[in-house]
């Protein structure tokens, strides 16, 4: 019962699309109606409102972090298993991808995944974020950086934690993130993907 409640709460927290929330609060257009159509920080930045993009980034990362922290904050006598934490991580990420609060039209999950990783293990989160930053700095392509981070995240997790339920959950999150970037992958292969700042 406790496990089910934690997973449900994680999904609902993940369903809080901060691109939509911030845009409505600041009187900006629906982020699904312009640019890439993706309700995420990168697309919100296309409005020219850096504060809105920063708030979106922090909110989406924060909800992934919060879902894990809440699951780990339950009393020890409830015996929350490792697989439950893994399921909570997946539920929070799935909530961002398919938010029930916004007609299941969610983002690609990069910031939410980063928040989940930082909460699971600070070293894992920092290593994955650094991977994103390095690739982004070299190639100036956000989607390529996200894909590189997705590939390396399960490897960092395996190196730090070994093969367990959490590593499996991170691998599933990585695969979902790559799948959500399939249009970007096509543009990358045809050299049509936009660089950061364009």
Which pLDDT tens digit goes with each residue over 21-62? 999 999 999 998 888 888 999 889 888 899 999 999 999 999
pLDDT in tens, 136-192: 999 999 999 999 999 999 999 999 999 999 999 999 999 999 999 999 999 999 999
| φ, ψ of residue 163 in degrees (nearest 5) | -90, 110
Query: What is the pLDDT at residue 80?
Result: 84
Is 194 part of any domain? no
134: pLDDT strictly greater than 90:
yes
Is 103 part of any domain? yes
What's the rounded Cα separation, in Å, for the pair 77 and 129? 34
Torsion of CA 189, 190, 196, 198, to 10 degrees: -170
Query: What is the pLDDT at residue 35?
Result: 80
Is 195 part of any domain? no
Is 75 part of any domain? yes
The pairs formed by 162-165 with CB atoms below 8 angstroms and a separation of 24 or more are 164/82, 164/86, 165/82, 165/83, 165/85, 165/86
Task: Tell me the whole-structure pTM to 2 decimals.
Answer: 0.93
Query: What is the pLDDT at residue 194?
Result: 84
Is 100 part of any domain? yes
59 close to 96: Cβ distance less than 8 angstroms: no
- Could you list the residue range(s) of the whole structural domain that residue 19 is in? 2-189
Query: What is the pLDDT at residue 198?
Result: 63
What's the rounded Cα separation, in Å, for the pair 184 and 94? 20
E strand or H helix that includes residue 126: helix 122-139
Query: What is the pLDDT at residue 152?
Result: 97
What's the rounded Cα separation, in Å, for the pair 134 and 112? 19
64 close to 116: Cβ distance less than 8 angstroms: yes
pLDDT in tens, 74-127: 887 787 889 999 999 999 999 999 999 899 999 999 999 999 999 999 999 999
Give me the mean pLDDT over the 129-140 stretch: 96
6 close to 83: Cβ distance less than 8 angstroms: no
Is 112 part of any domain? yes
Q: What domain count does the chain have? A: 1
| Cβ-based neighbour number of residue 44 at 10 Å | 30
Is 198 part of any domain? no
What's the rounded Cα separation, in Å, for the pair 60 and 42? 12
Largest interatomic CA distance in the chain: 55
Q: How confident is the model at residue 20 (pLDDT cuts 50, 70, 90)?
A: very high
Is 48 part of any domain? yes
197: pLDDT strictly greater than 70:
no
């Amino acid at each position: 019962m406790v496990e089910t409640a934690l997973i449900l709460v994680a999904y609902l927290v993940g369903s809080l699309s901060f691109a939509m929330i911030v845009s409505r609060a600041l009187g900006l257009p629906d982020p699904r109606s312009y640019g890439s159509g993706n309700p995420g920080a990168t697309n919100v930045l296309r409005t020219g409102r850096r504060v809105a993009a920063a708030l979106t980034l922090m909110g989406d990362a924060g909800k992934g972090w919060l879902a894990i922290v809440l699951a780990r904050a339950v009393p020890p006598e409830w015996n929350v298993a490792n697989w439950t934490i893994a399921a909570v991580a997946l539920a929070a990420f799935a909530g961002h991808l398919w938010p029930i609060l916004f007609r299941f039209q969610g983002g690609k999950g990069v910031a939410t995944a980063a928040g989940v990783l930082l909460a699971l293990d600070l070293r894992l989160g920092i290593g994955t974020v650094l991977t994103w930053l390095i690739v982004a700095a070299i190639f100036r392509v956000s989607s390529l950086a996200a894909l590189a981070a997705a590939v390396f995240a399960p490897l960092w997790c395996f190196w730090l934690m070994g093969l367990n339920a959490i590593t499996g959950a991170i691998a599933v999150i990585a695969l979902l993130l790559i799948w959500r970037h399939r249009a970007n992958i096509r543009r990358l292969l045809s050299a049509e993907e936009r660089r950061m700042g364009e």
